[in-house]
Each structure stands twice: as structure tokens, then as C-alpha cells.
Amino acid sequence: MAITRLTTEEFLLLAKEYPVLDVRSPGESKHAHIPGANNLPLFTDEERKVVGTAYKQESKEKAIKLGLTYFGVKMVAMVEEAESIVNRWQLTDDRKRQANQSTNEKVVLVHCWRGGMRSAGVAWLLDLYGFKVYSLIGGYKAYRKWVLAQFNKEYPIRIIGGYTGSGKTEVLQSLAKKGETIIDLEALACHKGSTFGSLGQPEQPSQEMFENLLGAELKKITDKPSPPVIWLEDESQRIGLVNIPTPFFGHMRTKKVYFLNIPFEQRLNFIVSTYGQFEKDTLLNAIMRVKKRLGGLETKTAINYLIEDNIKECFAVLLHYYDKYYLKGLHNRENFSSLFHKIDIAAVADEANASMLLTCAQEEKIS
């Protein structure tokens, strides 16, 4: 067999059908990787450091010899792990399993950091064993260049706006159930945006991994024959510890905002039902994170309500702050008046509000 080298676009297209093997070190892969890739490291983090130091301080030949020393004892284990990954991949999809059983062909896609010696070594081994191997030209570095390029493109976007507690995320998910195309930025970021946004959420991805995830979502949409309108929730550029890429965020700010105008009391009840069950210490720490912006008096008032078990009044203080903060950001946008479409709604109700949103968008399109 021969190893076939692919461009990033070709590699990602084929990655829909076959497993991707990321042969970088565990630390590199953990920091950020191609979504869905399997880490099959040629070197441990320490081994990579040793080989890299030898390359820089001694010679390329010395580094290669060290690398071969580490590689040699791992060959059998790497082949067996690659087989296991292929088997698991096939079992996740009957169509893939049947297709591969009919040809009895084991297919993998391999990449390292720059498409150099690490991926070449593993590709050689797997090819020798009988795999059909595809490698990524330029490696993960080329993939990252591709990801960043996605954020400079134009996309048909509609924005769901609304004060904190409007159930925007729930409306977004209801739109998906109705067949609309969405990207849930908060789900990708593992954070709901406010000071309480990390509560009940898994660890946030790195900035780089967040970008990779967003790039993958955009690719799923643009791969469709007729790319549909994308619904997004209105966000600040920063979501917890990660930022929406600046070009994409700038593009979002030029799009129409469908603002769900829901009464304060309804939103407050929704916030209490969502976050009220968390421990006092957890809520206290969240309040302290916005102390500087909230102000000393309001912070003290909110904390006193919390200590007195008056969760509703505590959250009311915070909600007033977030309403003012959101309204200021809304009015700071260019062409605010032409991009703002207010929809008066009586209550937080995801499915009903999603239907109302679609009706308004359709009426506006017709008119």
C-alpha cells in the first residue's frame, strides 16, 4: 500500500468516514485537538521534551536515534491500539461497519504537529502492518490555519437576544428540535455566560480547543448543499475563560437581534429555579467574582440576602445589574435601531417562544 497525503479540506472530509489518529503527545492533544480525533501518542510528554532538546542542542540525527529508541518498544502496542480504535469506530455506525467488513480494509487518518517525522513514522508502521493510511499535509498546524480562516467568512446569522433569565439557550435548543440550524456557543464553551455560568458545567476547553469546536460546527453547516440560516444566542465576546474569535464576533454584531422582552419577575423566577439549588458557598464565590462591577453596596446587599436564605431577593439584585449591563452593550452597537427587533413575551417558555420567534422572522422576511 501507499500512504496518501491530503490537504486539510480533504482530510476533514474523509474524517467523516474513518478515525483520526493524533500522534502528538498527550499534553499537546489535551490542550487542543481536531474534534473527534483519537490520541495515539508516539512520545510521552517527557519523551517529546527529551527528543526536542536533543534536536535543538545536538543534532537532527541524535534526535532521530532517540526517537527510534522510544518508538521501537511501542510498535506492537501502537498497532494493537490502532486496531482497537478502528474496531470501536466501526461499531458506532452500522453503515461504516458493513462497508469495512465487505472490503476487510482498515483505514486511518494520521497527523502530528507539522506533518513531519512523528506522523511519518506512525504512518509507515501502520502501512507496513496493512492499514490504508492517509496523512495530513502540514499536520495540526495546517489544520489550525484552516480553523482560523473559517472565522473570516460570511455566514447567514440570526441572533436571539434578551435579558439574563429569558431562557435564550432553551429557546435555541427548541429551535433545533424544530429543524432549525443552531450553534450553541455556551455549550461549546461549557459556560453559560454570567457569574453563575460555570455552575454545574464541566471544565472549560482551552481557547484553542473552543475555536476548533466552533470551526467544526461551522464546517458541518457550510458542507450542506444550501447552507441554512444559523441561529445564535446573543453573547458577550467573553464566555467564562474563552473568547469568541474576534472576526466572527464582529460579524455577529452586524446581524439582527430578535430580542425576547420578558418581564423581570418571570425572568427572576427562572433564574431562581435554575441556580437556587446550589450551595451558599458556591453562590457566594460567584457573587464575589463580580464584586468590582456590582459595587460594594449592592454586593453587600446581595450577600446579606443570601445569608438570610432569601435567594430570590439576592438574585434580584444581580439581575438588575445584568439588565443594565446588557442594555448598555446593546445600545453600543452600530446600527442598533435597524438591527433591533423587540418581541414582547409574557413568560419564559422555550417551545412557545421558539415558535413565536420563527413566526416573527418569517413575517419580517415576507414584508
- From 147, 168, 196, the end of a domain falls on 147
Q: Using DSSP bridges, classify how beta strands 257-261 and 242-243 pair: parallel, antiparallel or unpaired.
A: unpaired
Same domain, 141 and 268: no
pLDDT at 350 over 90: yes
Range of the domain at 43: 4-147
**217 within 8 A of 188, measured Cβ to Cβ:** yes
For residue 339, what pLDDT band results from cuts at 50, 70 and 90? confident
pLDDT at 192 over 70: yes
Same domain, 292 and 186: yes
**Domain holding 294: CATH number?**
3.40.50
| pTM for the model | 0.92
What pLDDT was estimated at residue 103? Answer: 54
pLDDT at 157 over 70: yes
pLDDT at 365 over 70: no
User: How far apart are the C-alpha atoms of 92 and 322, rounded to whole Å?
Assistant: 44
Same domain, 143 and 161: no
Catalytic hit among 112, 190, 314, 360: 112
- From 101, 120, 147, the end of a domain falls on 147
For residue 335, what pLDDT band results from cuts at 50, 70 and 90? confident
74-115 pLDDT, tens per residue? 999 999 999 999 999 988 765 455 555 555 689 999 999 998
Same domain, 28 and 169: no
**119 within 8 A of 135, measured Cβ to Cβ:** yes
- From 147, 162, 187, the end of a domain falls on 147
Provide CB contacts within 8 A for 39, sequence distance 6+: 22, 24, 26, 29, 30, 33
What pLDDT was estimated at residue 96? Answer: 53
**339 within 8 A of 332, measured Cβ to Cβ:** no
Task: Indicate the number of domains in the chain.
Answer: 2
Q: Using DSSP bridges, classify how beta strands 107-111 and 132-136 pair: parallel, antiparallel or unpaired.
A: parallel
Same domain, 281 and 319: yes
For residue 300, what pLDDT band results from cuts at 50, 70 and 90? very high
112 is catalytic: yes
**Domain holding 129: CATH number?**
3.40.250.10
